[in-house]
Amino acid sequence: MRLSKLFKNAPTVNVTGLCFDSRKVKKGNVYFCLPGLTYDGHDFIDSAIENGAICIVHSRPVSDKRDGVIYIRVADVNEAMNQCARIFFGKPSDKMTMYGITGTNGKSTIANVIRSILDPLEPTGYIGTIAIEYGDVKLMPDLTTPDALFLQSRLNDMVNAGMKACALEVSSHGLAQGRVNGINFDVAIFTNFTYDHLDFHGTLENYFDAKTILFKDRVKPEGVCILNRDDPKYKELVPLCAARVVTYGIENEADYRAIHIEMTNEASHFDLIHNGQSYPVMTNLVATYNIYNLLAVIAALHETGIDLDKIIASCKAIPQVQGRLEQIDEGQDFNVIVDFAHTPDGMEKVMEFGRSITKEGG
């Protein structure tokens, strides 16, 4: 690709790739001087050039410029990298229906269930904490929400593999650090908001502000925001949404509401109330918080045109999500649950479910 396609008025030299790690730069690459928490990419410009970089994108002054190297100064290197990655990889998110899921808990479950239900209808990929999956491909991720270059590259791979949709876990780190700035989401899903990640964000206010970016800035105006009506942050989030709002919940009136819930350790039954009609739902998902997760999935898929009866039929046998309330049955006379819960709220809910399926004295 020509550099002039990435930057206005840039020379028409050929670009072989994009990189922000000077150690991984290859001949013909554009090197982005990305400022980090520990290191600053500006300090490794010489290394990047020695490894073959033909263009340096920087925000700080560069005093010792080399002949034959193109220097482009921008106000925000990270934003420039996001937009360049979007263009370089052919704007892949524009070619798929993009589901973005954020919140303290439930992201992995919702994203995986979206894929499991939607994939038989239209090929769907998944990117998140557990894996990167599309078609027969399964890769292990480094981060819940990868960096922009890796993310756009994988989305491009999905498009080339025939994917029509992608469910992406969008972490607060990823939002705060602008990793998804090159993606316009068709659906933005909010799960819940509880204590987490204060080591990075500093305060709960900063943590919540990071979450709101998905709904303010990253969802398409013609898209939809799927919000948990029962979460205390719901009222704060609604006026910030840049697209229409659709709600789900149990305790309060919602566009997609579950009532008459009955649960065992193997299955759940409830009536889904939508547009004044009642639909019986049976699912192998268990625990109240998974009913919330499933409601978010149902709302997201139905609001993007999937027939509600088809969605409900698919809820009966949802593949087990790895490490998410995963029940191990090897014929033992006791219950074994594997779960990734690591927040106070998540741990409390898992323990609550564990107690509910444990016989007295067991």
Instruction: Say which residue, 311 or 356, is predicted with more confidence.
Output: 311
Is the same domain home to 261 and 143?
Answer: yes
C-alpha distances in angstroms, 251 versus 36, 193, 244, 273, 304? 43, 16, 22, 12, 25
The residue range of the domain holding 349 is: 326-356
Total of domains in the chain: 3
- CA 314/CA 281 separation, integer angstroms: 10
Domain termination site, one of 87, 122, 143:
87
Most confident among 51-55, 144-148, 180-184 (mean pLDDT) = 51-55
| pLDDT tens by residue, 52-82 | 999 999 999 998 899 999 999 999 999 999 9
Q: Does any domain span residue 56? A: yes
Is the same domain home to 176 and 277?
Answer: yes
Q: Position of tokens 């999905």?
A: 158
Contact 111, 169 (CB under 8 A): yes
Give the pLDDT confidence score for residue 279 in this predicted structure: 98
Contact 193, 103 (CB under 8 A): yes
Q: Does any domain span residue 20? A: yes
For the entire predicted model, the pTM comes to 0.86
Domain termination site, one of 45, 65, 87:
87
- CA 88/CA 1 separation, integer angstroms: 7
Choose among 217, 123, 183, 105: nearest CA to 114: 123
Indicate the DSSP class of residue 105.
S
Strand segments (E) across the chain: 17-19, 29-32, 55-58, 70-73, 97-102, 124-127, 132-134, 137-139, 165-169, 185-190, 219-228, 244-249, 256-263, 268-274, 277-283, 326-327, 337-338
Average pLDDT over residues 126-145: 86
Is the same domain home to 196 and 288?
Answer: yes
| Measured distance between the N- and C-terminal CA atoms of the chain, rounded to whole angstroms | 65
Q: Does any domain span residue 73? A: yes
CATH code, domain carrying 24: 3.40.1390.10
**If you average pLDDT over every residue of the chain, what do you get?**
89
Give the pLDDT confidence score for residue 197 in this predicted structure: 47
Average pLDDT over residues 144-150: 82
Choose among 124, 120, 104: nearest CA to 112: 124
Q: Given pLDDT bands bounded at 50, 70 and 90, which one contains residue 105?
A: confident
Flag whether pLDDT at 296 surpasses 50.
Answer: yes
